[in-house]
Amino acid sequence: MTEATRTAWITGASSGIGAALARAYAGRGLRVILSGRNRTALEAVAAQCGTETLVLPFEAADFEAARAAADTAWDWSGGIDVLVNNAGISQRSLAIDTDFAVYQRMIDVDLLGPIALTQALLKRMAARGTGQIVMISSLAGKVGSPLRSAYCAAKHGLIGYADALRIELSAHGISVIGVTPGSIRTDVSRNAVTADGSRRGESDEAIDSGIDPDEFAARMLAAIDAGEREVAIAEHGMEQWIAQERRTPEVLFDKMIESFNAGYAAKMGVTAQ
């Protein structure tokens, strides 16, 4: 099968990582399906791709819509060769202040949404005996991070689902790749939800100085080409967090608590306990 007859479906494709991945797959000659909530933004990204595209908007937490979209996407392309579950939202709030509704929304969008879409395609992909499923999690999906308790819960769950799925699908010719980005220069922090579920509206220094999305996309695809089944892409020492968490979790826990308390105390003008 040539690249020109293969199809990549990217969710959360209207901006940031998703848009960069759409351009990257298109640059390899694949047909591209772009999904997200904003049709106008998706159409703008599609115009940048220079390949055959399908704009297929739906809300990630609308599981019935996801199943219907799976039928449409499969029929349009004659099959999905690469599914990239990238759609998601982040969080910036202390757990003690956060409404339970925020946890429900985060789990729906960041965990159950990707699972619903993947499940809608699994039998058909297995019957074809080929394909890739890519789960865009986060460094926060491997290492707990403050102000992101709901986000961490969802992204840890996504990695667990990917790990189990990889084993089950190994006999069907389908590879499953878990991707854990660190700080990527996108609007993820601006679009993050706060304690009451409202949009944060401001970015973080770490995000603003992060990796360019197009560079991230190139590095991710190169790692997948190299056969990596879990791809960590981060800078500023963050890529070492995962390795340290695996080797010495107690040291990492203490280091992160110390760092957070120092930063939180300075910002809030309180004495950390």
Rounded Cα distance between 92 and 261, Å, is 16
29 — alpha (psi -120 to 50), left (phi > 0) or beta?
left
103 has catalytic annotation: no
- Of 25, 151, 161, 264, which is the active-site residue? 151
In degrees, rounded to 5, the angle at the alpha carbon of residue 109 between the alpha carbons of residues 103 and 110 is: 85
In a 10 Å sphere around its CB, with 0-12 CB exposed, 13-18 middle and 19+ buried, how is residue 273 labelled?
Answer: exposed
Spatial neighbors of 124 by CB under 8 A, at least 6 apart, are 74, 79, 80
Q: Compute and round to an integer the Cα radius of gyration of the chain.
A: 19
User: Can you tell me the distance from the alpha carbon of 235 to that of 83, in angstroms, rounded to the nearest whole number?
Assistant: 26
SS3 content of the chain, % helix, strand, coil (to 5): 55, 15, 30
Q: How many residues does the chain have?
A: 273
Q: Which residues are known to be catalytic?
A: 151
